[in-house]
Amino acid sequence: MGVLHRQRWCGATALAVPLLTLASPAFLKLAGVAPSWAVLWLLPWALVDGPASGAIAGLCLGLVLDALHLGQASEVPVLIALGWWWGRIGRRGVPIERSYNLGLLALLGSLVLGVSLLLQLSWSDQLPLSLAGLHTLVAQSLITGLLAPVLCSLQLLRWRRIADLRS
């Protein structure tokens, strides 16, 4: 694990995820669908702090977000997997910094998260695999991918600087 999780204020920024999910600002929506704030926070965190920290952060975020939503569909498994995957990517090769890469990773993460929710809701006979589900899936992935280069790169730079200073 990296050193970022030892900085309490860095970890405390995760509180922005449930707050933004509840506040759901209208000007950051695409076709009425909000971005996946968990993906936008988890991506830079896992890239800087490694797979174990990313997976644990994914678990924590997933538990909180599941608590804020109706029904039994869970975001926990996918957020753990994404945290681990992005942590592994951050640990190998050239550090990911380009806007395109960040946007693509966030878009993929949001897509995987959306597909898992769509399948869970479909299996529980709540939401048929219809245009409504696909609309939410596509809109959320696009808005998450579009916001990632702006938000994730800022977090990435800040947290990388802190990690470099502390290590």
The CA-based diameter of the chain, rounded to the nearest angstrom, is 51
Residue 70 lies near another protein (rule: CB under 8 A): yes
**Could you count the other beta carbons within 10 Å of the beta carbon of residue 71?**
12
Within residues 113-142, the interface with another protein by CB under 8 A covers: 114, 117, 121, 126-128, 130-133, 135-136, 140
Residues 121 and 125: their CA atoms lie apart, in Å, by 6
Q: How many residues bind another protein (CB under 8 A)?
A: 36
- Interface with another protein, residue 68, by CB under 8 A: yes
Which one of 37-45, 57-65, 94-102, 157-165 is the stretch in contact with another protein (CB under 8 A)? 57-65
Report d(CA 49, CA 163) in Å as an integer.
Answer: 8
Distance, first Cα to last Cα, the chain = 12
Residue from 4, 46, 60, 105 in contact with another protein (CB under 8 A): 60
Interaction of residue 34 with another protein, rule CB under 8 A: yes
In the bound state with another protein, the residue whose beta carbon lies nearer, of 140 and 153, is 140
Label residues 45-60 b or e (16+ Cβ within 10 Å = b): bbbbbbbebbbbbbeb
Residues binding another protein (CB under 8 A) = 5, 18-19, 22-24, 29, 31-34, 56, 59-60, 63-64, 66-71, 73, 114, 117, 121, 126-128, 130-133, 135-136, 140
